A and B are shown apart, each in its own frame.
Chain A
């Protein structure tokens, strides 16, 4: 079965510093990986995805993620954090085969807090 793990429940970073939110995955076959962000009392918003190609994926709001096949990781990064980046971040992997094709499996989420 496909799964993702987000090892940190919380990440705290000062404004202006780089941030990393970690994600590791376990899949059979090639992974289709996603990052979403959730602001308080809102639905999830798509940030970026990796399907194939370049290992460095650029997304919305200045975020990027690096796909690392040997380490089975897909960490979310941003060079300079903003207070407005404070939110709940979810990593997800999508099933690409068989009867469960299309299902999206989410990690438990990482709460990012950026201090001014």
Chain B
């Protein structure tokens, strides 16, 4: 009964380093997305995907890349980490693109020094 699994849960990076946040879901959901959560700002959409091979930008895509080679996996890549990317990152998926509720992972807390 895994649902949405995110790794790592915690990560500390130095400015300029790159890394990948992993996200996997076992519910055969077509729609997957990445959000970042910052105090007082709610959740903001970074990138999303409506199926394998299809991705698109959200509200705050700069500095991040995604790919969707399989239905299950949707990794988020930070190309050159900056302190402004210090945040909590959530991956979420849903069965339907418009009406379905999102299922969230437990989050990945990233600190960029």
Residues of A within 8 A of B (CB): 9, 32, 34, 36, 41-46, 49, 51, 90, 94-96, 99, 101-109
Task: Please classify how large the interface on chain B is, using the bins under 10, 10 to 19, 20 to 34, 35 or more.
Answer: 20 to 34
Complex Cα distance A66/B105, Å?
28
CA of A34 to CA of B100 in the docked complex: distance in angstroms? 10
Closest B residue by C-beta to A45: B104
Binds A, one of B11-19, B37-45, B76-84: B37-45
Chain B residues at the A interface, C-beta cutoff of 8 Å: 4, 31, 33, 35, 40-45, 48, 50, 56, 58, 90, 92, 94, 97-99, 101-107
| Bound CA span A49–B101, Å | 8
B45 near A104: Cβ-Cβ < 8 Å: yes
Q: Are A43 and B105 in contact (CB under 8 A)?
A: yes
B104 to chain A, nearest CB (A): 4
Q: A43-B90, A43-B104 are in contact. Are A101 and B43 (CB under 8 A)?
A: no
Tell me the total A-B contact number using a CB cutoff of 8 A: 60
The residues of A that contact B41 with a CB separation of less than 8 Å are 108
B101 contacts A34, CB within 8 Å? yes
Point out the residues of chain A lying under 8 angstroms from B40, CB to CB: 9, 108
CA distance A46 to B92 in the complex (A): 11
In the bound assembly, the distance between CA atoms of A42 and B3 in angstroms comes to 14
CB distance from B13 to the nearest CB of A (A): 20
A residues less than 8 Å from B45 (CB atoms): 103-105
Shortest CB–CB separation between residue B93 and chain A, in angstroms?
11
Known contacts A43-B92, A44-B104; can you find 10 more A-B pairs with CB under 8 A? A9-B40, A44-B90, A45-B104, A46-B103, A49-B99, A95-B98, A96-B98, A103-B58, A104-B102, A109-B42
